[in-house]
Amino acid sequence: MHLIETGSNYIAYIIRYIPDYNWFNNLDNYTPEGDLVLDLSTFQGDKIKYSLEREVIWTTIPVDTARGGWIEVCTFSSVATCDYGTSIHDRGPRCGGSLGTRLVKSCSSAYTGSGSGWGNEGGDDTSNGGGYASNNNCEEVTGTLIQDSQPISGVDTGCAVNNVTGVIAIGVLDCISLQQVAETLVLNPILASCLQDPNKCAEVGQLFDFLEANPSETAFAKAAAQAICEGGEVDFEDKIIKDSSFAGTKGDCVYELLKTTNNNLFKNVLETFTNGTAKYKLKLFVGGLQNNTNEAQTTFNQVTGMMEIRFSVSALTQSTLEIAGTIIHEGIHAELKRIIMNGNNGPNPLSQSHYDYLLSLLEFYENNGSSLFTLNNATHLYMVNLHLQPIAEAVRSLDDDLYPLSHYMWLALEGLETAANQANPPIFTDAEIASFQSLVNIPLNDDQNQECDE
């Protein structure tokens, strides 16, 4: 919070700091005692300036620029330092040295709008935001007016009687959203307490932003909060949660490799049958399979509304190419099951012809046992008929297209061979399947190691 003296009154405002991934994980931003500190001189990420009533004054996050424009804004903060006599660094809660301060000026390109709570800082082209604009030796500053020790509602502009070195300010990494997250999700006290860990500030901020943009997605947000607390990871953009059992494994490495190869291979393959609009909501685990003979399994969690993909421990000890085939296989399973369970009503339905074909496969298998067995076989045959080649092409891309597509077909067909044989007529002959099984040994046993094989 920043507090600026303006004669007999004060102007106050809040700056929210949302660090990017690289800054948050940079060890240079941690004190020798191990505390993460907000070094404004090196901070990388977004900032939002609020009045005390949380009205947005400016933000570095791109918004609808039809409502306003971009300006250069600067903030001046008096940052507490930890002084051991021979070394000085920004102060964390475990500092054992003397208290000191340093003044930091931090400037950014920010957006100011014309709506309620969005005012031009300083009111002219020389505005420098949170921040001051010089006018007849007066420093203009915008925020909440504090009069007779009481905040006055609305956004006001005052004339700072002190120069920039007289600014009183406390810079803190944003954790202000935790209470709102806890209230919205009705978190139990243990989970709410866990999320108060300062090291989880960035994840809690992302969770808060997700809820603001997706207020109806409380089930996913609650599952995300649980994962954050338990040491998992959350991809809020694609709505994919990595359970702590999956995060950091070789499977996680391969999943990230799929995401970063050819503009997200994982996403591209899954969207080949939903016209580029797959809606994932997946959670990835290791262990807990209902059938211990399976390498992986996809089920639906009715509480969270998410598809859960579980991998066996042994499945994630295989090569990068084999794990990639398994991840893509289960991802397509999850998307097809979601489509079947909601009756293709959306979001992101199949074309009517493809959906009718999928229903015909369900009918074909309806007398073959349990509903799970029927659903698995129907989606398997659907994948055999329509998606073997995209799966094989994706795995081949990870191998830099070293060999013909036939050398990777078994990595797409494995687990689907029963469905392929049950088709009438069979999709592949026994000789063709044997050939695929033989050819795959060439890329699997060459000396071309993938990133995750190292």
pLDDT tens-digit profile, the chain (454 residues): 777 777 777 888 888 777 776 776 677 777 777 667 777 778 888 888 888 877 888 888 766 544 455 666 666 666 778 887 777 877 776 777 787 777 777 676 766 654 433 433 433 222 233 343 344 455 667 777 777 667 776 777 776 654 433 333 334 444 545 666 777 788 888 887 787 776 777 788 788 888 888 888 888 899 999 999 899 999 888 888 999 999 999 999 999 988 887 766 777 766 654 444 445 588 999 998 877 778 898 888 888 888 899 999 999 999 999 999 999 999 888 888 888 877 877 656 778 888 888 888 888 777 655 455 567 778 888 888 888 888 999 899 999 999 999 999 999 999 888 888 877 788 888 899 999 999 999 999 998 888 898 7
**Are 228 and 234 spatial neighbours (Cβ–Cβ below 8 Å)?**
yes
Cis bond upstream, residue 347 (ω within 30): yes
Nearest to 318 by CA among 204, 229, 412, 444: 444
Provide the pLDDT for residue 312. Answer: 94
- The string over 222-242, giving b where at least 16 C-beta atoms fall within 10 Å of a residue's C-beta and e elsewhere, is bbbbbbbbeebbbbbebbbbb
Provide the pLDDT for residue 315. Answer: 93
Provide the pLDDT for residue 112. Answer: 63
pTM of the model as a whole: 0.60
Provide the pLDDT for residue 173. Answer: 43
Count the neighbouring beta carbons within 10 Å of the beta carbon of residue 387.
20
Q: Which two tokens stand for residue 279?
A: 């809606």
How does strand 282-286 pair with strand 240-242?
parallel
Provide the pLDDT for residue 437. Answer: 96
Q: For residue 440, what are the CA distances in angstroms to 112, 315, 405, 427? A: 57, 17, 10, 19
The separation between CA 201 and the C-alpha centre of its own chain, rounded to angstroms, equals: 14
Backbone phi and psi for residue 85, each to the nearest 5 degrees, phi listed first: 95, -45
